[in-house]
Amino acid sequence: MITFPKAKINLGLRVTGKRVDGYHDIETVFYPVGLSDALEFVILTGSETEDVLITSGINIGVRQEDNLVIKAVKKLRETYPLPFLKIHLHKAIPSGAGLGGGSSDAAYLIRGINKCLNLSVSETKLKSIALELGSDCPFFINPVPSVATGRGEILKQAGAFLEGYHIVLVNPGISISTRDAYLNTPVSEPGTKLLEMVSHPVVEWKKLVINDFESYAFKLYPQISELKKALYRIGAVYSSMSGSGSTVYGIFPGKPEIPAVIRKYKIFEGVL
C-alpha cells in the first residue's frame, strides 16, 4: 500500500498554559499543504522477526528504531495482532522544520495499516493511539484545516478558508528543538481567540495572527526573520514561521516571482 503523508503549516500559534503533565496547552490552526512524503508498506511473508524500514530522500539522521514510523507500528501492535512489515519511507518534508513530517508519516501508516488489514479501528481510537506518538499526530489521522487546542489533540474543523491562495514554503536548513522552543517561550496573555482572528480577511492577519515561538527563533537565528521579511517584500499577504520552526511560509494571492535570495534555500510552492 502506498500513501503520501502531507505536511502542515500553523496559522498562528499561542502557548496558552503549562500543564501538570509537563506538556503545554496551545492554540493554533493546523492547515494541510501539498508537500508530502511517500510511504509504502508490504507484509513480510518469510521468517522475519521484526519490521524492516528503508528510507530515501532527505536524510533526517534518525536511527531506524527511533523513527516514528517504526514506533507507530510497535504502538499499534501492542493492541492489534499485526504481521511484520517492510516499509519504504521517501522523505521530502524536512525534519525539525515545523511542518509535522514525522508525525504525518506515523499517522498515515496507522491509517494505512487499519485500512489494509481491515482492523476496523475507529477514527477516535486511531487519534488516541496517534497522540501517544506526538501531540500533532492526531491531526494527520484526518488532515483537514482544524483549530487545535489542548496539546494540539483537541481538534475542531475550521474550513478551507485559504483555498485558491498560493503558498511558498522556505526552509533554511536549520533544525530547532521543539523542547528548547517551549522552554524559552513564555505563556501568552489571555486574548482574542485564534479562530476569531483568522476569520478576518487574510490581508489583515499581519497585525493579528502571531506565532509565539518566533521571538525565540528569530533571536537565535536572525536569518529566519529575514526570510519572513523577504516574503513580505515580494507580495505575501501573510507570512509566518510554522510551528516551532524553522520553515517560514508566505501566502500569496497568485504565483510570485521568487528572487535568488530566497531560491538559495529549499523551497516548495503550491496552491492551497
Name the active-site residue from 8, 91, 127, 228: 8
Distance of CA 212 to the CA centre of its chain: 16
Q: Is the backbone peptide bond immediately before 36 cis, with ω within 30 degrees of 0?
A: no
State the Cα–Cα distance between residues 97 and 34, nearest whole angstrom.
Answer: 15
State the Cα–Cα distance between residues 244 and 28, nearest whole angstrom.
Answer: 12
Residues with Cβ within 8 Å of 178's Cβ and at least 6 positions away in sequence, in order, are: 96, 243, 244
Q: How far, CA to CA in Å, does 4 sit from each of 106, 179, 196, 220? A: 11, 27, 32, 33
The residue with cell 533571536 is 219
Name the active-site residue from 37, 51, 105, 136: 136
> Containing H/E element for 130?
helix 123-131
Strands ordered across the beta sheet of 38-43: 2-3, 38-43, 85-91, 52-57
> Which 8-state DSSP code applies to residue 207?
G
Q: How many residues does the chain have?
A: 272
8 is catalytic: yes
212 is catalytic: no
> Which 8-state DSSP code applies to residue 151?
T
Name the 3-class secondary structure at 180: helix
Name the 3-class secondary structure at 20: coil
Number of Cβ atoms within 10 Å of the Cβ of 271: 13
Catalytic residues: 8, 136
